Amino acid sequence: MTYCGRCGRDLTDGNHESCAQALALEPPRYCAECRRRMVVQVHPTGWSARCSVHGDLVAG
Ligand SMILES: [Zn+2]
Ligand SMILES: [Zn+2]
């Protein structure tokens, strides 16, 4: 994990406590490894987020 999945900034840059709380409830917008915007789909059972480089991240 290098980048914040919610705000896309470096995890060492600032405080991401509120981001971490939000990510407990909603899908990430940015790939944690490359910071690309991910394609997020919300399903009745959860969500999936796809990075064009790193593939799918699934939760729910
Ligand atoms: Zn953040
Ligand atoms: Zn990625």
DSSP letter for each residue of 14-38: S--HHHHHHHTTS--SB-TTT-PBP
* pLDDT at position 60: 53
* pLDDT at position 11: 96
Residues 6+ apart with CB under 8 A from 55: none
* pLDDT at position 1: 75
* pLDDT at position 2: 93
Give the pLDDT confidence of 9-24 residue by residue, as tens digits.
Answer: 999 999 999 999 999 9
pLDDT beneath 70, residues of the chain: 59-60
* pLDDT at position 15: 96
Tell me which ligand sits closest to the C-alpha of residue 32.
Answer: 2
Q: Which residues lie at CB < 5 A from ion ligand 1?
A: 4, 6-7, 16, 19
